[in-house]
């Protein structure tokens, strides 16, 4: 969503689509017989495509903080905007899944809606990936406090949150000999990803050309890929046989967030122009990224049950020429019918602490397009 007051960062939407695409490819891999040879750089990105969730959460922390820096947040209005933006589509997905099943577990539905699903260990078949929405909403509940404490204590407070989160994960590992579930599926493992996104927003505001060199972009992408390789060798990767027992999960959420933040900053600060058509297409796909994230898993599952999803010998062709277009089409309809009509209910939730400062485009942007959770 555009504003007359400041520029619109279309590249944020590009990154949203990248996050959604990684998750789509990961779930496609999980429902097809694709050999994930780690010697193939492209397949490494797909094998660890669940990391798209981490990118979504870094983006969420970044965008919200970019709005809130130097401003006061009306807590009630902020939470109301988050509910209006997230819940219409979230509730439709949950209720559609519940009604599609022969037996509806009412308590599971309630736990998912509240949102305490991940805390209660509750998921729903075919939309189990929506565990990210409650976790993200838990971050929303504390975000205004984090911004307030940052204003009072500075970046050292947010760094303390990161260290504390790693400390909790270490304690969990020492107690249970595993920390994978807590690190991946809970706010305990995700809070530092949001916070690192917040710190990236501060860095972006103070050093807008810090990573503007094309070399910085190449190095940032290399850092993301290198961490994937280290994580695979260290723990076996997300789907590795011994992944649950690996102590890599103590630091992996933090490392993922650091590398994604570097790539995000480098991409946002690049001076070269993207062709207009490419920019508009990627921006649109980023706009509908929440719907992409919500509907991709059930659509991929349906294709896995029927031969129409395997028309081509090459899995890449099945993904990009059959399943992805269907996901995009369904998500476009979902965006315009379910998501967009509720934008009219949004209210202003930030007030500048300085006079004559108007609402930024990014404030309107985050209301329009949440992370996905998003992812």
Percent of the chain's residues with pLDDT above 70: 84
Of 9, 2, 331, nearest to 201 (Cα)?
9
Tens-place pLDDT, residues 318-368: 889 999 999 999 999 999 999 999 999 999 899 876 554 344 444 444 444
Q: Report in angstroms the alpha-carbon separations of 205 from 21, 29, 199, 223, 267.
A: 28, 38, 10, 23, 15
What's CA 371's distance to the chain center, in Å?
Answer: 5
In the predicted model, is pLDDT for residue 184 greater than 70? yes
Q: Report in angstroms the alpha-carbon separations of 275 from 18, 37, 99, 272, 282.
A: 17, 34, 44, 10, 11
User: Would you state the pLDDT for residue 122?
Assistant: 63
Tens-place pLDDT, residues 5-39: 234 799 999 999 999 999 999 998 876 555 555 55
Tens-place pLDDT, residues 265-312: 999 999 999 999 999 999 999 999 999 999 999 999 888 888 776 777
Residue 238: which pLDDT band, with cuts at 50, 70 and 90?
A: confident
Dihedral, CA of residue 23, residue 112, residue 89 and residue 366, to nearest 10: -70
Annotate 317-375 with DSSP letters as a single string.
HHIIIIIHHHHHHHHHHHIIIIIGGGGGG----EEESSTT-PPPHHHHHHHHS------
Residue 2: which pLDDT band, with cuts at 50, 70 and 90?
A: very low
Q: Are 245 and 178 in contact (CB under 8 A)?
A: yes
pTM of the model: 0.89
Give the whole-angstrom CA distance, residue 351 versus residue 344.
19
User: Would you state the pLDDT for residue 3?
Assistant: 33
Q: Are 12 and 365 in contact (CB under 8 A)?
A: yes
User: Would you state the pLDDT for residue 247?
Assistant: 93
Tens-place pLDDT, residues 188-237: 999 999 999 999 999 999 999 999 999 999 999 999 999 999 998 899 88
In the predicted model, is pLDDT for residue 4 greater than 50? no
Tens-place pLDDT, residues 71-103: 999 999 999 999 999 999 999 998 888 777 655
Q: SS3 of 239, please? A: coil
The residue ranges of DSSP E strands in 127-248, in sequence order, are none
Q: Is there a cis peptide before residue 115, judged by omega within 30 degrees of 0?
A: yes
User: Would you state the pLDDT for residue 165?
Assistant: 97
In the predicted model, is pLDDT for residue 251 greater than 80? yes
Of 71, 78, 88, 66, nearest to 12 (Cα)?
66
């Amino acid at each position: 969503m555009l504003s007359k007051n400041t520029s619109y960062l279309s590249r944020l939407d590009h990154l949203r689509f990248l996050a959604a695409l990684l998750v789509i490819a990961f779930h496609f891999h999980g429902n097809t017989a694709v050999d994930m040879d780690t010697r193939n750089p492209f397949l490494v990105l797909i094998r660890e495509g669940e990391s798209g969730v981490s990118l979504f959460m870094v983006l969420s922390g970044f965008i919200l903080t970019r709005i809130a820096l130097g401003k006061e947040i009306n807590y009630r209005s902020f939470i109301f905007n988050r509910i209006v933006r997230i819940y219409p589509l979230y509730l439709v997905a949950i209720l559609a899944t519940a009604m599609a099943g022969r037996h509806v577990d009412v308590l599971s539905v309630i736990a998912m809606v509240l949102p305490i699903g991940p805390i209660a260990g509750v998921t729903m078949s075919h939309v189990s990936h929506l565990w990210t929405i409650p976790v993200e909403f838990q971050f929303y509940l504390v975000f205004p406090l984090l911004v307030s404490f940052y204003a009072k204590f500075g970046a050292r407070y947010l760094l303390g949150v990161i260290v504390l989160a790693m400390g909790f994960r270490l304690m969990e590992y020492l107690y249970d000999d595993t920390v994978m579930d807590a690190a991946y599926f809970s706010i305990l493992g995700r809070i530092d990803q949001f916070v690192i996104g917040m710190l990236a927003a501060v860095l972006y505001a103070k050093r807008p050309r810090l990573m503007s060199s094309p070399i910085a972009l190449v190095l940032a992408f290399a850092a993301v890929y290198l961490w994937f390789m280290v994580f695979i060798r260290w723990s076996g990767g997300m789907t590795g046989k011994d992944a649950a027992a690996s102590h890599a999960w103590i630091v992996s959420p933090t490392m993922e967030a650091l590398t994604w933040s570097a790539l995000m900053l480098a991409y946002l600060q690049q001076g070269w122009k993207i062709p207009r058509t490419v920019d508009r297409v990627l921006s649109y796909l980023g706009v509908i990224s929440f719907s992409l994230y919500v509907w991709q898993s059930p659509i991929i599952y349906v294709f896995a049950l029927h031969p129409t999803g395997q028309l081509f010998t090459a899995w890449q062709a099945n993904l990009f020429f059959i399943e992805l277009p269907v996901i995009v089409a369904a998500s476009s309809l979902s965006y315009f019918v379910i998501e967009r009509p509720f934008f009219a209910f949004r209210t202003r939730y930030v007030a500048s602490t300085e006079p004559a400062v108007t609402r930024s485009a990014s404030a309107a942007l985050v209301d329009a397009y949440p992370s996905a959770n998003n992812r």
